[in-house]
Amino acid sequence: MANLKEIRNRISSVKSTMQITSAMKMVSAAKLKKAQDAITAMRPYANKLTELLQSLSATLDADSGSKFAEQREVNKVLLVAITSNRGLCGAFNSNIIKQSNNLINTAYAGKQVDVLTIGKKGNDILSKTSTIIENRSDVFDELTFDNVAEIANKLMELFEAGSYDKIELVYNKFKNAATQIVMTEQFLPIVPAESDENVQLDYIFEPSKEEIVEGLIPKSLKTQLYKAIRDSFASEHGARMTAMHKATDNAGELRDSLTLTYNKARQAAITNEILEIVGGAEALNN
């Protein structure tokens, strides 16, 4: 059994860890509230914009359709893996890395698959096994629509130039603080809306429908990417808050266990000292 000094040192170390994890939990909780409000407010707009674009695109003739809706034979794929710049958030990053590798090795086996990483953690791991064309971990330094729009413009340019036949986003969708859903979402080409003959679009278009669609597409794609990154950002803080809460609870249990061990060892030491004193007194009396 470890001596009393070693146990005291371990108890002190566990208490220090508890203070750190508890502080990180509170910081993540504060950041989560802001990030959650941002993604909750944005989702209805982003979803409606995407729905409107898909519905309008579905009504266009094949010849007048957008270049971003062109369906090609898939030989070259680009995955946009969205992770975080920091760790200590449970399985948040590893789930994205695992899903990216799964797509590369199964769904797109035998095809050229490159990766654009958003987040330092994903870049550090995926760069060892995959071809990384660019890492944009800097976007989290100032997460604004304009900064994300730069990445979206690059993706649109790559698709338009024929560098890739398909571009997909891999990210964590925020559900609540304890739950994040790994999403694989097609970015380009634009996913056509499911045909429904009963749906009638009673709109008056000014200017033409084609011009409206061409104007909406870049904005919709930028919004789609911004929503995915915002989702991931909120999920990161939720995952970190949950991980730090569990770490604090585990540290508390370990502290209690060590305290009990310390008390038992201290009691045993005191008992031994008493026995030695009593034994010595008896020896003197004899």
- Active centre residues (catalytic): 89
Sequence-distant (6+) residues with CB within 8 A of 48 are none
Residues 151, 74 contacting (CB under 8 angstroms): no
Letter string b/e over residues 257-267, b meaning 16 or more CB atoms within 10 A of that residue's CB: ebeebbeebee
Q: Side by side, which strands form the sheet with 76-82?
A: 131-135, 112-118, 76-82, 166-176, 179-188
**DSSP string covering 66-107:** -GGG------EEEEEEE--S---STTHHHHHHHHHHHIIIII
Write phi, then psi, for 81 (nearest 5 degrees). Answer: -95, 115
Could you tell me the CA-to-CA distances from 209 to 35, 47, 48, 71, 223 in Å, in that order?
36, 20, 17, 20, 20
Query: CA–CA separation, 46 vs 226, rounded Å?
Result: 9
Instruction: Classify 118 as helix, strand or coil.
Output: strand
CA atoms in the 13 A half-sphere facing the CB of 21: 20
Q: What is the 3-state secondary structure (H, E, C) of 190-209?
A: CCCCCCCCCCCCCCCCCCCH
Length, in residues, of the chain: 286
Query: CA–CA separation, 251 vs 182, rounded Å?
Result: 29
